[in-house]
Structure 1
Amino acid sequence: MNLETLMQKHQKDLSEMDWSILGYILENEQAILRMSIVELGEKVHSSKSSILRLTKKLGFSGYSEFKYFMRQAKQNNTATQEADLLDLQMKDIENTVKLAKQTDFTALSEALEKANTIYCYATGYSQRKVVEEFSKMLMLCDKRSIVIPVKTELDISMSMITKDDIVLFVSLSGETDAIKENILSLNARKIPVVAITAFSHNFFAEHAQYSYFYYSTPFTVCKKEYIAQSLVGLSVLVDLIFRKYVTYLNKEFEEGNEW
């Protein structure tokens, strides 16, 4: 078990401040192992008691036990990477599918079918390739879909997007600063927003009417500091969303043709 799994397990108990602290911990796992609770508090601008409460929410007796867990998880993760990176890939896929199975996609399917146009925007090149494939698949359903390739064109398109449309954002972090203003503008105009991001508490998901998560576990390359991050979980989730949409359409068609 790793920290992300614990975060998912206890997500209903975690406050926004807790998510912020955990986000810092995930980004600085190596440094955390050398920090005292006071030092961590200074880094995240939080009190010692707040961090202690957080560790207890996650099921630990205190900060020392939490650090021990982090150290063991890191050692286990390193061993796993050295043993077989394919296992890591399969775990991302399995966790993505497991989370999706606990999610009801009916409301999203209804919103996609109701929308005049589905606008799609991805914050990175790799994510955009997945979105482009999704857009092509929507054409099979006679659904109008437009992939917006760059931020400038997103800004230009904003005035053309109406309440009868829906806007889908795909991101890894869900925290791309340049896009936040666009999402807030869409919120203010009551235009439906869909956020598809890696599993985390993030801005995109928080400000979307429909939010969905995939898993993407980073790993080091050739024992160097280079970090690789696969988006296979994203591809699986987007394909699943399309299949749920087609299932919804087929059901509507069958019911409409009943005598």
Structure 2
Amino acid sequence: MADLRSMVYDKSSKLNDSEKQIVQFVLNNPKDCSKLSLAKLAKKLYVSESAIFRLCKKLGLSGYSELKFDLVELAQSRQQPIKIENNFARELSKVNDDVLKYFKQRDFNSLYADLDNAGTIYIYSTGWQQELIAQYLAHELFVVGKHATVLPSALDELKAASRFAKKGDVLFIISFTGDNKTINEEITKLELVNDKFKYVSFTDMKQNKLASLVQHNIYFPTIAFTDDGDYKSGKVAFTPAYYLIDLLISEYVAWHQSQREDVEVNVGN
């Protein structure tokens, strides 16, 4: 059943000025009006009882009793705070579990080898959220002794980096979808004329053009902050991306240590 406000909205074009004034008053004061008899409400508004009864009929109500019932419901709805369903904590835990499973299923040894051999690691991002991820990745690489340069989100900077890069340097491209046509075209051109870089894509979507252009691809999911459709509007958390970076860096450290131990064993033999 439609609520009173919907009825008023649907029938507003058929109401005269006097009826609109009555409607405005009862909608603004539903709790008080729901306690009044037809006679008392008519007296309070300086209108006839028949005028209020005709208004009820115009709105599609059976009579004044139904109007009072709808006013009670309207008053109660205003007293109850709007509760937005928020399962973010639960979803975050679930998605991080999925990220861990994904990470354990992947073999990143070749990526670790390229990171180890790189003199400089360049990180290019395609948006402000991606740039924050780029800064975090650069910091974590620095902590483990790898020099990383975060490039501004401009094609000219990407082209300049390709000129200064040395053989074996690594270029991360952090993109939300991986389907930025301009960036993908530039990466394709770079690969044709520049054999210095080892390319790594870091994207949200698993099926994307960028991932097909690079030697290494890494995928991260995002999470909406709320289940309420009115509040989504692109508001998502990139927490899993940071979690995945931590997993990669920690595993790279373990891989690097194992490589050193293997060398020491071989030298000892």
TM-score (norm 1): 0.63
- Number of aligned residue pairs: 179
C-alpha distance in 1, partners of 2:113/2:175?
23
Q: How does 1:77-96 map to 2 (within 5 A)?
A: 82=85, 84-96=87-99
Q: Tell me the CA shift for residue 164 of structure 1.
A: 2.1
User: What whole-Å deviation, never above 9, does each CA across 1:49-79 have from its counterpart, x for those lacking one?
Assistant: xxxxxxxxxxxxxxxxxxxxxxxxxxxxxxx
Counterpart in the other structure of 1:214? 220
User: AA paired with 2:117?
Assistant: K
Q: Tell me the CA shift for residue 88 of structure 1.
A: 1.6
Tell me which structure has the larger Cα radius of gyration.
2
SS of 1:200's partner is coil
Counterpart in the other structure of 2:211? 205
SS of 2:237's partner is coil
User: AA paired with 2:119?
Assistant: N
C-alpha distance in 2, partners of 1:140/1:227?
32
Provide the identity percentage.
25
| Contact kept in structure 1, 2:85 and 2:227, CA below 8 Å | no
- CA root-mean-square deviation: 2.1
User: What whole-Å deviation, never above 9, does each CA across 1:20-50 have from its counterpart, x for those lacking one?
Assistant: xxxxxxxxxxxxxxxxxxxxxxxxxxxxxxx
Counterpart in the other structure of 2:200? 194
| Contact kept in structure 2, 1:95 and 1:215, CA below 8 Å | no
1:120 is aligned, of 118, 123, 131, to 123
| Contact kept in structure 1, 2:85 and 2:228, CA below 8 Å | no
Q: How does 1:1-259 map to 2 (within 5 A)?
A: 82=85, 84-151=87-154, 152-188=156-192, 189-190=194-195, 191-218=197-224, 223-224=229-230, 226-258=233-265, 259=268
SS of 1:129's partner is helix
C-alpha distance in 2, partners of 1:137/1:227?
27
Counterpart in the other structure of 1:31? none
Q: Which runs of 5+ in 2 are unaligned?
A: 1-83
C-alpha distance in 1, partners of 2:183/2:258?
36
Counterpart in the other structure of 1:68? none
